[in-house]
Each structure stands twice: as C-alpha cells, then as structure tokens.
Amino acid sequence: MNYFFFRLVVTLNGTQPACTECQYTRTGTCNLDNTGCDCYTNYTGYLCRQVIPENPLQSSPIQGQNWTIIVAVVSSVAGLLLIISLVMFVFYCISKRRQSTTITKPPITRPQFTIPRAHLPTMGTVSRELNSWDGFSLDNTYDEQFVDASDSFPSSSSTSYNTTYRMSGNRPEADFGIFDELENRTPMPKGHIPRPQMVDMLGTLNSFPTLDQFDEPSGETSVFSDSRDLDEIELVTDMLEDMTKDDDIEDEFVEALNPNLAIPRLSLEPDTQSLSWFSVCSILQIYIFTNQFFLF
C-alpha cells in the first residue's frame, strides 16, 4: 500500500469525507457520523485546525527559572553593595565624631623664616655721615632697622671691599696696565714650563716630611731609615728637575728611567694645549707614587 517508506502514501478509492483531514494531520479522529472530528489535546476548532496556545512558562520552565535566578543574583549583589556602603558611611561618621570630640589638635603654627637683609660693608675709614646721596652711591643709612646685629659690620671695621661708588672726589685712576702686560707677553712655548715656577713647585714637594720624620717617637728606627731610599728620592727629584727642562720627554721614557712608575694615561691623546698641564700633573703623580712606593 505504501510505496515510499518515508511518505504517508494512501490509496484512495473514492471521495473522502472532510474529517479524514484531522486523521491525516493527526490532530483528531472522525466522529461517528463523519461530520466532524474529535480533536486531540491542544487542538480545537473545525477539523481541529486551531492549535491551543500553550502557557509560555509551562512550555519553557527552564527559561523561567533562569530569569528568576538572574533577578535574584542581581538583587542580592545590589543589596550587598548597598549594605557595605551604609556600613562604611556609619563607621566614617563614628570615627569622625570621635576625632572631633576626643582629639583637639593644636593650631598648626609653622615657623616663619625670614631672610635677613643683606648689608653692604662700608669702608672703615669713611664715616657714615660723609656718605651723602649723590645719585650713584648706595645709601645704607636706614639699614639699621633691618639689619641684624649678628651680620652687621661695625663702623670701625675695615674691609677690602669698597661698596660705595662715588662719582665725585678724587678718584684714583684705574691701572689696567697689568692686562696689557699680560696680553703683550709672549706666549710660552708649548711643552715648556717656566723654570722658576717649576723650581718653586719642586721646592714645595721637597718640603714634605722626610723619611727621618717617620721614625717612631719611641726612638725606634723605622723601616724608612734606610739611607739608600733617601738617596733614591733625591735621585728621582733631580731626575724630575732635569726633565722639566724639556717637557717633551715621553712618558715611556720616564717609565723607562724608573720601572717602578706607571704613569696613568688617558685613552685619548691630549691636545697640544693641555699637554703642559698634563705633564705637570704626571710629575706630581710620579713623586707621590714614588713616596707611596717607598712607604710600602
């Protein structure tokens, strides 16, 4: 009868009553006289063509439960936040009231620091009454009310600074000859240091305590009492003095003269202008290193 497995194929031999519609649509069955249909549940109307709408909550109880759960969670969180905020506000009010009642803070007094008025020193030889206002001089007549006694100079004090500039009176002419002399002086040859200057410097270096002064106060002879070391120092000093005659001696030569020395060098070669100063510093370091070497 059925030619197709998945189809409801019926063989009709004649006209069919209208109630067969509800049978084929499975919404009801034909009544006894085939005038109508006895509808199944949720179907009604003529030939059971109308579907009774189901209750949405009953049809999807899980969805309704989800809505109730969401509403409950949100309301609980909101209520919790509200409670926390209220509690914090209450505690804040209580703490503030306690502070206002128990603790009476003294008024904050900040020390005021005042900068003392600068007082220009005056010439001791010029009396204060002679300082007349001439339009170009600094008048400190009324400074007494501002000047602290600690930093004020007495009138009898004489300073080397003349703070009063006077346009009138006998003004000694400024002698700028020294600048001209400095400008006209022939520049020093590069790499050479004036001998008197170097002799003075070496004299200063030689004035350092000698080895004899390192002896112990108890009279015991120290390790520095060796006369040979003293001679070596004098030898080095003389050698350095000889080197000052011509400062173009290379550092390697100095180190070759005394293998115990190591002249510190910069990584970059110094320019010719600073070569003389570098040489002087090297000599000083040589002497100091020599002393240290002998001290050890």
Partner 1 sequence: MVALNVPLNVTQRIQLSNQIFSQNITYNDSYSLNGLQINLNPATPNSRKTETASVL
Cα–Cα dist 140/153, whole Å: 12
Q: Does 10 bind partner 1 (CB under 8 A)?
A: yes
Beta carbon of residue 21, minimum distance to partner 1 (angstroms, whole number): 5
Cα–Cα dist 62/188, whole Å: 106
Out of 8, 62, 130, 268, the residue judged to bind partner 1 by CB under 8 A = 8
Out of 5, 25, 56, 249, the residue judged to bind partner 1 by CB under 8 A = 25
Beta carbon of residue 9, minimum distance to partner 1 (angstroms, whole number): 5
Q: Does 5 bind partner 1 (CB under 8 A)?
A: no
Out of 5, 15, 53, 183, the residue judged to bind partner 1 by CB under 8 A = 15
* C-alpha gyration radius of the chain: 58
Out of 7, 105, 171, 185, the residue judged to bind partner 1 by CB under 8 A = 7
Q: Does 26 bind partner 1 (CB under 8 A)?
A: yes
Cα–Cα dist 211/208, whole Å: 9
Q: Which stretch binds partner 1 (CB under 8 A): 17-25, 80-88, 95-103, 188-196?
A: 17-25
Q: Does 4 bind partner 1 (CB under 8 A)?
A: yes
Two tokens, residue 263: 């002249």
Q: Which stretch binds partner 1 (CB under 8 A): 11-19, 30-38, 99-107, 153-161?
A: 11-19
Q: Does 11 bind partner 1 (CB under 8 A)?
A: yes
> For residue 237, which of 296, 284, 295, 294 has the smallest C-alpha distance?
284
Beta carbon of residue 60, minimum distance to partner 1 (angstroms, whole number): 24
Which residues, 6 or more positions from 216, have their beta carbon under 8 angstroms from its beta carbon?
222
Q: Which stretch binds partner 1 (CB under 8 A): 5-13, 68-76, 170-178, 204-212?
A: 5-13
Which residues, 6 or more positions from 140, have their beta carbon under 8 angstroms from its beta carbon?
119, 120, 122, 131
Two tokens, residue 152: 């004020």
- H/E segment holding residue 43: strand 43-44
Cα–Cα dist 113/106, whole Å: 21
Out of 16, 76, 141, 168, the residue judged to bind partner 1 by CB under 8 A = 16
Q: Does 9 bind partner 1 (CB under 8 A)?
A: yes
Beta carbon of residue 15, minimum distance to partner 1 (angstroms, whole number): 4
Binding mask 38-77 for partner 1 (x = CB under 8 A): ---------x------------------------------
Out of 20, 152, 237, 285, the residue judged to bind partner 1 by CB under 8 A = 20
Beta carbon of residue 3, minimum distance to partner 1 (angstroms, whole number): 7
Per DSSP bridges, beta strands 28-30 and 37-39 are antiparallel
Which residues, 6 or more positions from 44, have their beta carbon under 8 angstroms from its beta carbon?
50, 51, 52
- H/E segment holding residue 75: helix 61-102
SS3 of residue 176 by DSSP: coil
Q: Does 24 bind partner 1 (CB under 8 A)?
A: yes
For partner 1, which is the closer residue by CB, 10 or 72? Answer: 10
Two tokens, residue 234: 């004098």
**Tokens 């905020």 label which residue?**
85
Q: Which residues bind partner 1 (CB under 8 A)?
A: 3-4, 6-16, 18, 20-21, 24-26, 47
